[in-house]
Amino acid sequence: MQTELSKQLGVEHAVFGFTPFPAVAAAISRAGGFGVLGAVRYTAPDDLARDLDWMQEHVDGRPYGLDVVMPAKKAEAPGNRTLTEADVEAMIPAAHRRFVEDTLTKHGVPSLAEGEASGWRITGWMEQVARGQLDVAFDYPIKLLANALGSPPADVVARAHDKGVLVAALAGSARHARKHADAGIDIVVAQGYEAGGHTGEIASMVLTPEVTDAVAPLPVLAAGGIGSGEQVAAALALGAQGVWLGSVWLTVTEADLHSRALTRKLLAAGSGDTVRSRALTGKPARQLRTEWTDAWDDPQGPGTLPMPLQGLLVAEAVSRIQKYEVEPLLGTPVGQIVGRMNSERSVQGVFDDLTRGFESAVTRLNRIAGRG
């Protein structure tokens, strides 16, 4: 599964893997793919440095990258000040806080112990936090910097290029992809509606060729709904120079979801068991459908708040749900490919299956084309 882009980056397979877990990212790079560590959960720069140190020791010299979440549209505090976490907390209406508590009480979710910090406190989509992550990351030999919610600011692109780091950005439409090209981005990740996490409304089958045409000759990676080698072959047939997978790594043996109940839920879920909901972050993100997403999507409820308010509003609640494994509410971002994630495999096992499936698709297509 080699393309010009995989050769340029020095990897065996044009398979890019996004994951929040260093052990998974390192295993993806060791297996011949390109591991990309999601940085959004790192609020303390030292924690990111510790995990990048670990990655350095465990990638066997293979290339890897980092993904940050810098929203193109950022919220501003009064007087054009940079928004702090305290500003955001102060903007959350009391009625929304009550709704969170009432929903947790209805499901008997215990409180955290006195002084116990909320583990799920994602503030990495606040620009100053993401910039702190970049200050750390540029001291490591990362080969790729990806951004989730728009083109990164011009100074960040310039800084990456000065260091010889390629810049990728996710796009859910050809219009977004063109904006990335205009901003000097090197690789566009065309992420379809099926994908786990923040997604647009266009399915990968339609989006991949549209984006490929829109930004040619820039390389495009296809993302969303890819979990087998046959799907990799389809994406490459549509013009992509590689694939970008996220969901499939959630149930690998190297992943650390901290919850067997959640792993069991993912393994049992079908492709119709996800929903694109604003419940987690305030922007539409595909995730497991649960009684928690249903409560937020219920027209009788208060509705969600915009990013970054919603993320802070639900942070402690999500930690409580995860800690006490309250199954009806327990969820995670994941895409429709969850329906094919039915057994736990190692990262190497996923790569073995991807290569086998890819070869069988190519053989089949060659036969159909009368070439073998």
Ligand X SMILES: Cc1cc2nc3c(=O)[nH]c(=O)nc-3n(C[C@H](O)[C@H](O)[C@H](O)COP(=O)(O)O)c2cc1C
Binding site for ligand X (CB under 6 A): 18, 38, 40, 67, 69, 146, 148, 170, 191, 194-197, 223-226, 244-248, 332-335, 337
Please say whether the dihedral angle defined by the alpha carbons of residues 230, 233, 235 and 238, taken in this order, is positive or negative.
Answer: negative
Closest residue to bound ligand X by CB: 246
3-state secondary structure the chain: CCCHHHHHHCCCCCEEEEECCHHHHHHHHHCCCEEEEECCCCCCHHHHHHHHHHHHHHCCCCCEEEEECCCCCCCECHHHCECCHHHHHHCCCHHHHHHHHHHHHHCCCCCCCCCCCCCCCCCCCCHHHHHHHHHHHCCCCCCEEEECCCCCCHHHHHHHHHCCCEEEEEECCHHHHHHHHHCCCCEEEEECCCCCEECCCCCHHHHHHHHHHHHCCCCEEEECCCCCHHHHHHHHHCCCCEEEECHHHHHCCCCCCCCHHHHHHHHHCCCCCEEEECCCCCCCEEEECCHHHHHHHCCCCCCCCCCCHHHHHHHHHHHHHHHCCCHHHCCCECCHHHHHCCCCCCHHHHHHHHHHHHHHHHHHHHHHCCCC
Q: How far is the CB of 93 from ligand X (least distance, A)?
A: 26
Q: How far is the CB of 60 from ligand X (least distance, A)?
A: 23
Number of neighbours of residue 162 by Cβ within 10 angstroms: 9
Q: How far is the CB of 226 from ligand X (least distance, A)?
A: 6
Query: What are the tokens at 278?
Result: 């604003």
Q: How far is the CB of 124 from ligand X (least distance, A)?
A: 8
Q: How far is the CB of 16 from ligand X (least distance, A)?
A: 9
Q: How far is the CB of 18 from ligand X (least distance, A)?
A: 3
Which CB sits closer to ligand X, 255 or 361?
A: 255
d(CA 146, CA 353): 26
Q: How far is the CB of 88 from ligand X (least distance, A)?
A: 18
Which CB sits closer to ligand X, 209 or 331?
A: 331
Which CB sits closer to ligand X, 28 or 248?
A: 248
Q: How far is the CB of 339 from ligand X (least distance, A)?
A: 11
- CA angle, corner 218, sides to 216 and 219, nearest 5? 110
Strands 285-288 and 274-277: what pairing?
antiparallel
Which CB sits closer to ligand X, 40 or 177?
A: 40
Q: How far is the CB of 252 from ligand X (least distance, A)?
A: 12
Q: How far is the CB of 148 from ligand X (least distance, A)?
A: 3
